Amino acid sequence: MKRFALNGAGLLVALFAAFPVYWMVATSLKPSREIFSATPRPVPTEPTLAHYRDILTGNLIPGVSFVDFFRNSLLVAAATVLLSGLVALLAATAVARFRFSLRTSFLIMLLVVQMIPLEALVIPLFLMIQRLGLYNTLPSLILTYLGFSLPFAVWMLRGFVAAVPKELEEAAAIDGASRAQIFRRILFPLVAPGLVATSIFSFITAWNELIFALTFLNDQEKYTLPVAMTFFFGRDDTAWGPVMAASTLITLPVIVFFLLVQRRMVTGLVAGAVKG
Amino acid sequence: MTTLTDAPGTSAARETPARRRRRADRLPYLLLLPCLVVIGGLLLWPLGQVVWMSFHRLDNVRQVRGDRPWPFVGLDNYLQILGDPFFHTVLRNTVLFAVATVALTMVLGTLVGLLLNRLGRRMATFVGSCVMLAWATPALTGTIVWKWIFDDTSGLVTWLFNALPDGLSTALFGRSDWTGYGWFNSPLLFFAILTLVVVWHSFPFIAVSVLAGLKSVPSELQEAARVDGAGPWRVFWSVTFPLLRPVFAILVVLSTIWDFKVFTQQFVLAGGTQDRSTFMLSIYSYAEAFSPPPKYGLGAAIAVILTVILLVVTGFYVRMVLRQEES
């Protein structure tokens, strides 16, 4: 009886959590007349990929294909991941491998800057981007997202670096390996899984971001996916089929990546913060 | 950064142990340098800049570019905002929304965390995976889906209310036909739906963190209390909660920080920045700065007020984390 009640509650929670995601995918596969019918069908009775075709080929809005926005988003996210991974790895090595006088201050700063409300930085960063001549360019976003993803990346990566046994490096040093060799041959391969996890978080940060992209980009051909979504579908009478198809395309890579690293997410944010 | 200064030059070609040590002293700072440049240039400098901007009258993009002078106005922007009744409405909206959302997220998240801990293995995996879906969904697309669910013609909620028996619907809400009902038109309903969307996005993190906390403390104490006849309510408040107090404290602070500056969900649900009746601090700052006519100085001042509020909360957070690291 008790088991039954617990399982029932579990199913309710699962339904509440997963239903909107299911509904997004289901709607994206329904033909328009089924979407706008008075009685919604729980599953698509005549599944179709028409909405996906429409947004990707530019059928829906003449001359506008979401393939371009995909390319822009991927470019920005990939550059952010590479830069932030490299810089974070260096910093994480410093923090995890050395005892130096400003180490604690640096860690505190890392914690505090993660709490800066990024929404409050739109105006000064808009100014910086204007002055650097980067307004309406993709590098303006790469730079911005690098700053946003770096503190968490360092915070997370330091745990991975610290987990590599120091003895391995010492053994290599005794065998005559230089610091650069130790870094490249010993530390890097062992930290690689952590680097992948960290990269995924930087990727998600860059892929999902809306406000800064909305503010820094002007020309349609520069839009990233989130900007394109709000620009083309922010109007009142919304074509829900294509909107859900585009939403699904944006969401799927994030969900796949997220499931790969979710365990580390908890460790990074809470246990990492709690246990150090 | 005194250790960055050069080691005194020695003519000895061999590396003395002392010199080697000094080189090792410098290395961590070299490794940190790129990170410090990025954080300094892209987070700390803009943070200072936003304060500086808030003391100026900036209502032209050419001033932002530096082509025109910045008239210094002292605290005028702050006086103007603080004296504006609208600001008080916005502040009240923000605080009420944050309090309601944090409370609901914590309660739901904790309940789900406790539930996941009690479920059988397979059921826990299934429910856990579903919960992960809500967490993983980007704020943007998650909000768009909820907007579709609340669509006034073909949305699921509209259909549900239409499906209620007409008599019951009329008795309860005074209407039986819900087609065309603007779910987002009244501020109260708007905030209720916004709360729903944000809670949906954020309870998984609380649930998974509480679960991780539960797994890290011995379960014997709870079992002992249960054997002694304590009900679930009693077990939670007398045993589980005290054990997990540090985790809860951090989760409350993190949630407060996140819910205080909600932007994307609000922006998408409201369809932009036109509807001032549902403004909260972050979107208010953005709208003042970027909706024509632009008022960058005023927007900056609002951003500073938001930041100061959050920094106070962050102060608590950092103190808690440091206390954890020490123990």
Give the distance from residue A165's alpha carbon to the nearest chain B alpha carbon, in angstroms: 18
**Selected residue of B2, B23, B43 to mutate for chain A interface (largest A Cβ count, 10 A):** B43
Domain coverage including residue A16? 2-48
Give contacts of B 115-144 with A, CB under 8 A.
115-116, 118-120, 123-124, 126-127, 129-142, 144
Give a yes or no: residue A55 inside a domain.
Answer: no
CA distance to A209, B47, B87, B127, per residue, from A118 (Å)? 11, 9, 21, 33
CATH number at residue A143: 1.10.3720.10
Residues of A in contact with B289 (CB under 8 A): 122-123, 126
Residue B56, SS3?
A: strand
Q: What is the pTM of this model?
A: 0.88
Residues of B in contact with A157 (CB under 8 A): none
Give the distance from residue A117's alpha carbon to the nearest chain B alpha carbon, in angstroms: 6
Residues of B in contact with A7 (CB under 8 A): 119-120, 123
- Contacts of the segment A131-138: beta carbons below 8 A, 24+ positions apart: A131/B65, A131/B66, A134/A216, A135/A216, A135/A218, A136/A216, A136/A217, A136/A218, A136/A219, A136/A222, A137/A216, A137/A222, A138/A72, A138/A75, A138/A76, A138/A222
For residues A108 and A31, membership in a common domain is answered with no
For residues A137 and A24, membership in a common domain is answered with no
CA distance B74 to A72: 41
Residue pLDDT, tens place only, B194-237: 999 999 999 999 999 999 888 888 888 888 888 898 888 898 99
Q: How many CB pairs under 8 A join A and B?
A: 299
Give a yes or no: residue A57 inside a domain.
Answer: no
The total number of structural domains that make up chain A: 2
Are the CB atoms for A168 and A103 separated by under 8 Å? no
Residue pLDDT, tens place only, B68-101: 889 999 999 999 999 999 999 999 999 999 999 9
- pLDDT band per the 50, 70, 90 thresholds, residue A41: confident
Are the CB atoms for B195 and B101 separated by under 8 Å? yes
Average of per-residue pLDDT values in chain A = 88
For residues A31 and A98, membership in a common domain is answered with no
Does B38 sit within 8 Å of A87, measured CB to CB?
yes
Are the CB atoms for B109 and B204 separated by under 8 Å? yes
Give a yes or no: residue A142 inside a domain.
Answer: yes
For residue A70, give the nearest of A61, A57, A85 by alpha carbon. A57
Residue A266 above 70 pLDDT?
A: no
Give a yes or no: residue A182 inside a domain.
Answer: yes
Give a yes or no: residue A161 inside a domain.
Answer: yes
Residue pLDDT, tens place only, A91-129: 999 999 888 888 999 998 998 898 888 999 999 999 999
- The interface pTM score, or ipTM, of the predicted complex is 0.88
CA B323 to chain centre: 23
The domain spans of chain B are 14-45, 88-326
Are the CB atoms for B280 and B93 separated by under 8 Å? yes
Give a yes or no: residue A61 inside a domain.
Answer: no
For residues A87 and A25, membership in a common domain is answered with no
Bridge partners, B72 (sequence order): B56
Which CATH superfamily groups domain B88-326? MetI-like (1.10.3720.10)
Residue pLDDT, tens place only, A216-231: 999 999 999 999 998 8
